[in-house]
Amino acid sequence: MRNCKHEGLPPFIFFLGAILALGLGIAAAEAKNPFAGLKQAMQSGRITALADVQMAHDLSLWYVALNTGQDTDVRQLQEALRRHPDWPQAHSIRILIERKIPARAAAENVIGWFEEFPPVSGTGLQKYLGALDRAGQAEKLHQVLKAAWPGISLSAAETSELAAGYRHLLTAADHRARADMLFWRNRLTESAPVIALLPAEERRLAETRIRLIRLDSNVNAAINALPENLQNDAGLIFARVFWRRNNDLNDRAAELLMPDTLPADLGAAPERWWRERHILARRAMAEKDYRRAYELAAAHRQERGFAFAQAEFLAGFLALRFLDEPRKAIDHFHRLYQNVTTPVSVSRAAYWMGRAAEQLGNETVAQQWYETAAMHPATFYGQHALEKLGTLDVSRILMHMRVPVDREARQKFTANSNMRALAFLHAAGLSDQTQPFFRNALAAAQSPDDYMALIELGKKTGQTHYNVFAAKRLLSENRTIVFEDGYPLLREEWLPRRSRRDLPLIHALIRQESNFEMAARSPAGALGLMQLMPGTAGETRERLGIPRPAEGAEALLTDPAYNITLGSTYLQQMLDRYGGSAVLALGAYNAGPGRSDRWIRELGDPRRMSAEEVIDWIELIPIYETRNYIQRVLENRYVYMYRLQPETEFVALSSLF
């Protein structure tokens, strides 16, 4: 305590340290709890303000409740949740609180809590309904039950108990709605108890849907045994499409997706229909049946969102490039343009409007659409539109963009709960625990000032990936480009000599792969800045004659120079393999060289194509992730050319393919 800087605080800090260590069981979980270090931070004087003490308490309470199995007081958890309702894993904290609320707690207290935080678990719903029953609020009880029943997560026992306890309120229609919602959300196991409550014919319908989705054989008899009106059920038709597509009965699956057989109501998850359509359309494209592919895409029936954008683009692309129907293409591209907002989608729609107008011989209209697309110079299609206009000087556009500063707005955003936790954890030396709080703060950001507040925090704390994530979202949501902070540069000491052959491409790839997060770890196991798989890294290391690090693959997360050395070497191997073709090399880096080899066989060799044909070639890649990856890295690469060498002369985009 001798190190504490503020007189008068040590007794209180010592008291809170005791709470953290004893009252929350942190001493017993010291080895597991990263927030146990907060006690030492307080004792050293790094945490002194009363607000910081409360933050330390809430962070430790949150962690212990979620991770250590130590007992926690429900009232403390409730107060912490009220202070931080948008913290990471708040949903899990709510479930824990619902379990801990005493079964016979005062009805008014239980009702008050659930009116503030509606139940998210079966246990919580049962306690809320029980409290409403004890309080004599029958109408409210009915409303709560009806609203929660279709989608709330319930165990088999909870489903049976609620269905039996409130059978006078729950109807067959309610059970049908719940079973249907669970099907669309792919929660098949959870649907079994409610299926048992359905009338006999509807129970057979539900069981047939399950058999189809589980790809059982000999399902035709079960389908034919259903009454005719149930054979037209949207959920059943979708399950039949799914079954046929997974059994490679592509034509028969497509028959069920044609307008004359499609149900009027697509159910609770219309985007799932597009996934089936899209797969079948891509299969038809692979067989060069472009008319069938167009028919599948054009009849999509999507109304908004990512599925709508994919469907309208694909329909327009097929009409223009393979069916020679530019007027149809314009209809699709214009609908796309009118219903999307992100620079990537807006520039794509406008660029292809220009291409369609060119094909119709209308150069004036084409020029106007290219100018519209060119308003987004940090995007793949915005850059190609600039080249069409003959004005591809990205540096002049990007380097002079500045985000207006509203200090009051930024300060308001930094005062929110996740931002305060971020700043606190960095100050306490716990930067490695900040990622979940950053993700939540990023999700809550809305204005340019919000995103700039995150970028300022990233610069202040050395968390470069904060800058990149925030800059990408700022561009997507507000069409605002952050040039320097959004396109960071690697440290000089991280760049071995062998990594300097194409620095713009290396930077561009890292920005897409890891957002410059040194310790990035993908669900598939890729590690570090250049997201290397340990096996690939090991093979490359041996080829270079580099000794194996003592920490093994973990060195990819802790030694950026090592990661970049291996990653840039592997990238160069792919470039050499494909004669310098960045498109093929990036496809191989993302999806494996075997796929790039196959796409050359199936789609042609982009090294022997014109620039416009290469653009087509990229759009024909059957894997969305790879199509998007190549376009994002290439657009980053062009920006980095001017970021690294501002005096770079005009470079044709085709030379970078």
Tokens for 43? 């004792």
Q: What's the half-sphere exposure (Cβ side, CA atoms, 13 Å) at 188?
A: 12
Residue 143 lies in a domain: yes
Please state, in angstroms and rounded to a whole number, the distance separating the CA atoms of residues 381 and 238.
35
Listed in sequence order, the residues at least 6 apart from 211 whose beta carbon sits closer than 8 Å to its beta carbon are 219, 222
Please state, in angstroms and rounded to a whole number, the distance separating the CA atoms of residues 279 and 283.
6
* Inter-CA distances, 617 with 40, 292, 366, 512, Å: 58, 19, 22, 21
Task: Single out the catalytic residue among 276, 312, 513, 635.
Answer: 513
Please state, in angstroms and rounded to a whole number, the distance separating the CA atoms of residues 626 and 654.
19
Residue 623 lies in a domain: yes
Listed in sequence order, the residues at least 6 apart from 176 whose beta carbon sits closer than 8 Å to its beta carbon are 198, 202
Residue 225 lies in a domain: no
Task: Tell me, yes or no, whether 626 and 513 share the same domain.
Answer: yes
Task: Tell me, yes or no, whether 454 and 582 share the same domain.
Answer: no
Task: Tell me, yes or no, whether 508 and 428 share the same domain.
Answer: no
Please state, in angstroms and rounded to a whole number, the distance separating the CA atoms of residues 344 and 380.
7
Task: Tell me, yes or no, whether 617 and 504 share the same domain.
Answer: yes
Task: Tell me, yes or no, whether 528 and 508 share the same domain.
Answer: yes
Q: Encode pLDDT of 385-401 as tens digits.
A: 999 998 766 655 665 56
Write down the pLDDT at residue 67: 82
Residue length of the chain: 657
Q: Encode pLDDT of 100-128 as tens digits.
A: 999 889 999 999 999 999 999 999 999 99
Task: Tell me, yes or no, whether 419 and 365 share the same domain.
Answer: no
Residue 486 lies in a domain: no
Active site residue 493: no
Write down the pLDDT at residue 642: 86
Average pLDDT over residues 271-295: 98
Q: How confident is the model at residue 654 (pLDDT cuts 50, 70, 90)?
A: confident
The domain boundary, picked from 400, 425, 451, lies at 400
Q: How many helices (H) and strands (E) does the chain have?
A: 37, 0
Average pLDDT over residues 3-11: 34
Counting beta carbons within 10 angstroms of the beta carbon of residue 269, is it exposed (0 to 12), middle (13 to 18) or buried (19 or more)? middle
Q: How many CB atoms lie within 10 A of CB 554?
A: 14
DSSP SS3 for 413: helix
Please state, in angstroms and rounded to a whole number, the distance separating the CA atoms of residues 193 and 207.
12
Write down the pLDDT at residue 19: 40
**pLDDT, greater one: 9 or 43:** 43
Tokens for 340? 């999307």
Task: Tell me, yes or no, whether 177 and 111 share the same domain.
Answer: yes
Number of domains making up the chain: 4
First to last CA, the chain: 63
Residue 26 has pLDDT above 50, yes or no: no
Write down the pLDDT at residue 188: 92
Task: Tell me, yes or no, whether 572 and 453 share the same domain.
Answer: no
Task: Tell me, yes or no, whether 420 and 394 share the same domain.
Answer: no
Residue 327 lies in a domain: no
Question: Which of 598, 627, 632, 623 is CA-nearest to residue 614?
Answer: 627
* Inter-CA distances, 261 with 208, 270, 521, Å: 19, 16, 45
Residue 529 lies in a domain: yes
Q: Encode pLDDT of 176-207 as tens digits.
A: 999 999 999 999 999 999 999 999 999 999 99
Its sign, for the CA torsion 141, 144, 147, 150, is negative
Task: Tell me, yes or no, whether 444 and 588 share the same domain.
Answer: no
The domain boundary, picked from 183, 201, 234, lies at 183
Task: Tell me, yes or no, whether 572 and 647 share the same domain.
Answer: yes
Instruction: Kindly report the average pLDDT of the chain as a whole number.
Output: 90
Tokens for 50? 């009363």
Write down the pLDDT at residue 655: 81
Task: Tell me, yes or no, whether 469 and 574 share the same domain.
Answer: no
Tokens for 384? 């190609």
Question: Which of 396, 311, 319, 322 is CA-nearest to residue 345?
Answer: 311
Are the CB atoms for 188 and 206 separated by under 8 Å?
Answer: no
Share of the chain above pLDDT 90, in %: 78
Q: Which domain range does residue 356 map to?
A: 341-400
Residue 591 lies in a domain: yes
Tokens for 582? 């960045």
Q: How confident is the model at residue 429 (pLDDT cuts 50, 70, 90)?
A: confident
| β-bridge partners, 521 | 527
Reduce the secondary structure of 473-509 to three states and give it as a string: HHHHHHCCCCCCCCCCCCCHHHCCHHHCCCHHHHHHH
Residue 344 has pLDDT above 80, yes or no: yes
DSSP SS3 for 215: coil
Tokens for 365? 């209209």
Residue 226 lies in a domain: no
The domain boundary, picked from 400, 421, 448, lies at 400
Are the CB atoms for 641 and 504 separated by under 8 Å?
Answer: yes
Question: Which of 403, 568, 567, 539 is CA-nearest to residue 482?
Answer: 403
Q: How confident is the model at residue 31 (pLDDT cuts 50, 70, 90)?
A: very low
Q: Encode pLDDT of 132-149 as tens digits.
A: 999 999 999 999 999 999
